[in-house]
Amino acid sequence: MAEPLKVGLAGLGTVGSAVVHLLDQGREKLIARSGRPIEIVALNARNRGKKRGFDLRKFRWIADPVALARDPSIDVLVEVIGGAGDPAKAAVEAALTAGKPVVTANKALLAAHGQKLAALAERNKVALNYEASVAGGIPIIKTLREGLNGASFSRIYGILNGTCNYILSRMEKDRLAFEDCLREAQRLGYAEADPTFDIEGHDTAQKLAILASLAFGTKIDPKAIYVEGISSIALADLDAASELGYRIKLLGVAMKTDAGIEQRVHPTMVRKDAPIAQVMGVTNAVTVDAEGLAPITLVGPGAGGQATASAIVADLADIARGVCNAPFGRPVARMTAIRKAPMQHHEGGYYIRLLARDRPGTAATIARRLAQQKISLESIVQRHPVESAGAAQPGRSGEAVPVIMTTYATSEDAVHKALAAVRRDRVVYGRPQVIRIEKN
Amino acid sequence: MAEPLKVGLAGLGTVGSAVVHLLDQGREKLIARSGRPIEIVALNARNRGKKRGFDLRKFRWIADPVALARDPSIDVLVEVIGGAGDPAKAAVEAALTAGKPVVTANKALLAAHGQKLAALAERNKVALNYEASVAGGIPIIKTLREGLNGASFSRIYGILNGTCNYILSRMEKDRLAFEDCLREAQRLGYAEADPTFDIEGHDTAQKLAILASLAFGTKIDPKAIYVEGISSIALADLDAASELGYRIKLLGVAMKTDAGIEQRVHPTMVRKDAPIAQVMGVTNAVTVDAEGLAPITLVGPGAGGQATASAIVADLADIARGVCNAPFGRPVARMTAIRKAPMQHHEGGYYIRLLARDRPGTAATIARRLAQQKISLESIVQRHPVESAGAAQPGRSGEAVPVIMTTYATSEDAVHKALAAVRRDRVVYGRPQVIRIEKN
């Protein structure tokens, strides 16, 4: 039998520990599939003393991740430390510089330094694999990098954050407020103590930056992404969406437009019958649109030790077989700078929910402001609040009346201008809710 | 720039012609992705004179597929002739023997001779890629062969035939009879003039044989597959399924059981909220269950020139990059003989629809026969037919009354024995309809 592939493992959190188990359990299968064993020989973690359910003494402990990366006893580094900075970055750079392939689950590192790391991998002719960094158990990186090379992508969009999808699914299913669902997600371990990174869309944005680069051959540019989270979504929006035939999902969307590549993360109305609308709970999904092809959708677990470890082991198996693909599907020199389509030029349908002052002329004012921006309404529903059970009464002047509108395709700019004018006219209370409608 | 990858193309039907166009249009992108151009240099087809929308004179014509495969001017053979026999088989063998990689869309050839061809490819150290052979535009071969190497598969199932899914979707949506939907599918070009191969499940079986081999590391064995088509499915079944919370899909299912690997193709009740239940029309889908992982589902176009050509071009791009994977994910010597789980040992829930004779004792007889086989009912609905509009009347003795039952998990054998006994008791008319329920 061929020599084993000797792995250095940096990081022993949930994912790192799952990798240890999976390589142990899957040993024979991996020999069959890769022609050689894959063995961890050395590892480290922040805390050596922590209980992990396996005997650390079986492996060499090299406390410094960079020293581990450089150590002559290892053939490949698995980095599951996390974070865009050191020691993760230093360890990955050290391994690539030493001519050792790297497998990483670190989306933050790739979003921030993917370009530079890919160049380093290319210069040293080694693989940089990162299937686990986006949508854990779904093989979307391989699909984009190698599986759909015949396709010309026009759009890629997905549910890339399980926390947000869990919260939105639970709000819809059990008619709970955002805050209650967030607290529950934290209790279940689906959300961090500080949930900002997830619920404000930044986690989705890092993953989208990677997918957009693979789909369009562009340099990774997370700063080019428009980001909006889900904390403003109310039950009233989910109810209205449902009545209109939509669900609300936090999507990351990257698409080709005449103005360039649009990259955006925001709550999105998707038609209920779209495959992605069916994806509930912590599950992730990605849909790829390519010219002349029906959409392709991949659905599966987005996180969790086992799913993430499974992706890491698949990446290791490729390396064991001697496969070395360009990290972003093409040589770094062929990755083009992204021409960023400005968000104010985004075109599509919009859902608008506002609280109108119930007094003469309000409807006319709103209609005029929309018309001035050439916005056509597809639907409008105005409901006077029910004051006593069973009987709707005519509203009192100045009372707040919810109005829900959807528009035909228009531009972000037009919607913002129209709503700013409506607010200046003082015919609405508070800030109108605006949710983009994605065609699918 | 590196030398182009020179392609010999055998077959110029819809798919072959789409490959010509796609390689032409995608030239620059493929250079960026593969580091070298991919060019057709020689080709052939059954009919040289047919109009194809491109100039045949740009390419060398080598009329004999075997001569084309062996010709020193080509580096790789693309076989889109189809059929399990010659000339497709002879051409593929000739190319592999000459040390040339092969890309094929030919499921029949792989189901019948995959083992032998893989051995030939292995001996000559060349790739045998066939992404296009199963579920066209969905990268399921790459996903199983390379993408989920860390996973231990327990079950794989899918909608692998667009014709059947189109017919079942249309029956359900528009309440049409099977025959009407089949005729329409033929008119739209979704079904062949002789639709037997599709609607009786044989197309699905060939594809399932390939997927099962990749998922379980077993030798391809289409003869080990239990096959049942959709021609017996009535509107009454779709209606009953819907009431019970299910949809009916023709699935190919391969799963690990204590008795061995079960491979079966049959109409299946799947819960409406399962991702695969949402897949309508000619779309294909595959779900993979692996130990410790949430299910992974891939949805996309299953056929059509563009989708199939896109898969072929992705396979060519891998070859252009020098990637050569074992055709079935492991060396042929490591592919194990399949231990076939006999269909009569299949365990699961069952849907049974029968026409009972409405006379005293019928219900007791049916109940007794089921109980004798230790079958527990989950639900039973018996509806007397409505004789005049608006008023149900007590049935006349001997009249046919539809009875719909679902069972808890039991065995195929038990269901068949119980129903055979019920028929011998002469308490039902005709043959009871039996549809297996798949957990998901």
Rounded distance between C-alpha atoms, residue B326 and residue B133, angstroms: 16
**Residue A156 belongs to domain with CATH number:** 3.30.360.10
Whether pLDDT at A396 is above 80: no
This model of the complex carries an ipTM of 0.89
* Residue numbers of A between 201 and 220 with CB closer than 8 Å to B: 217
**Residue B398 belongs to domain with CATH number:** 3.30.70.260
Residues B131 and B147 in one domain: no
What one-character DSSP code corresponds to residue B144?
A: I
Q: How many Cβ atoms are within 10 Å of B364's Cβ, its own excluded?
A: 10
Rounded distance between C-alpha atoms, residue B142 and residue B140, angstroms: 5
Residues B95 and B211 in one domain: no
Residues A172 and A280 in one domain: yes
Rounded distance between C-alpha atoms, residue B69 and residue B9, angstroms: 9
Cβ atoms of B326 and A31 closer than 8 Å: no
Helix segments in B124-194, DSSP class H: 140-142, 162-174, 178-187
Q: Which residues contact B258 (CB under 8 A, 6 or more apart)?
A: none
- The type of residue at B139 is P
Q: A329 at the B interface (CB within 8 A)?
A: yes
Residues B282 and B151 in one domain: yes
- The type of residue at B401 is V
Q: How far is B274 from chain A (nearest CA, A)?
A: 9
**Backbone dihedral region of A281: left (phi > 0), alpha (psi from -120 to 50 degrees) or beta?**
left
Q: Is A274 helix (H, G, I), strand (E, B) or coil?
A: coil
User: A203 lies in a domain?
Assistant: yes
Rounded distance between C-alpha atoms, residue A110 and residue A141, angstroms: 13
* pLDDT tens sequence across A98-133: 999 999 999 999 999 999 999 999 999 999 999 999
Q: Is A232 helix (H, G, I), strand (E, B) or coil?
A: coil
* pLDDT tens sequence across A224-258: 999 999 999 999 999 999 999 999 999 999 999 99
Q: How far is A306 from chain B (nearest CA, A)?
A: 6
Overall domain count for chain B? 3
Q: Which member of B131, B217, B293 has the closest CB to residue A301?
A: B293
Q: How many Cβ atoms are within 10 Å of B325's Cβ, its own excluded?
A: 19
In terms of residue numbers, what domain contains B180?
140-301
Residues A245 and A291 in one domain: yes
User: B127 lies in a domain?
Assistant: yes
Residues A321 and A351 in one domain: no
Q: A281 at the B interface (CB within 8 A)?
A: no
Strand partners, B355: B402, B429
Bigger pLDDT: A295 vs A387: A295
Note the pTM of the prediction, 2 decimals. 0.92
* pLDDT tens sequence across A156-200: 999 999 999 999 999 999 999 999 999 999 998 888 888 999 999
Q: Which member of A32, A310, A326 has the closest CB to residue B148?
A: A310
Q: B330 at the A interface (CB within 8 A)?
A: yes
Rounded distance between C-alpha atoms, residue B250 and residue B270, angstroms: 10
Residues B282 and B251 in one domain: yes
User: A149 lies in a domain?
Assistant: yes
Whether pLDDT at A390 is above 50: no
pLDDT for A383 equals 76
Q: Is B275 close to A278, i.e. CB distance below 8 A?
A: yes
Q: Is B152 close to A26, i.e. CB distance below 8 A?
A: yes
User: B173 lies in a domain?
Assistant: yes
* pLDDT tens sequence across A367-384: 999 999 999 999 999 876
**Backbone dihedral region of B273: left (phi > 0), alpha (psi from -120 to 50 degrees) or beta?**
alpha
Rounded distance between C-alpha atoms, residue A352 and residue A380, angstroms: 9
User: B93 lies in a domain?
Assistant: yes
User: B169 lies in a domain?
Assistant: yes
Whether pLDDT at B390 is above 60: no
Residues A384 and A418 in one domain: yes
pLDDT for B389 equals 44
Residues A296 and A207 in one domain: yes
Residues A150 and A285 in one domain: yes
Q: Which long-range contacts (CB under 8 A, 24 or more apart) does A55-58 make?
A: none
The set of catalytic residues of B is 207
- Tell me the chain B residues in contact with residue A26 when contact means C-beta distances shorter than 8 Å: 150, 152
* Residue numbers of A between 351 and 410 with CB closer than 8 Å to B: none
**Residue A127 belongs to domain with CATH number:** 3.40.50.720
User: A24 lies in a domain?
Assistant: yes
Give the CA distances from residue B404 to residues A50, B124, B382, B387, B420, in Å, rounded to whole numbers and listed in that order: 57, 57, 6, 19, 17
Helices and strands, number each (H, E), in chain A: 14, 17
Rounded distance between C-alpha atoms, residue B263 and residue B371, angstroms: 28
Residues A118 and A165 in one domain: no
Give the position of tokens 């699914």: A169
Which one, of B158, B152, B262, lies nearest residue B217 by Cα? B152
Consecutive H or E run containing B38: strand B38-44
User: B357 lies in a domain?
Assistant: yes
Residues B50 and B161 in one domain: no
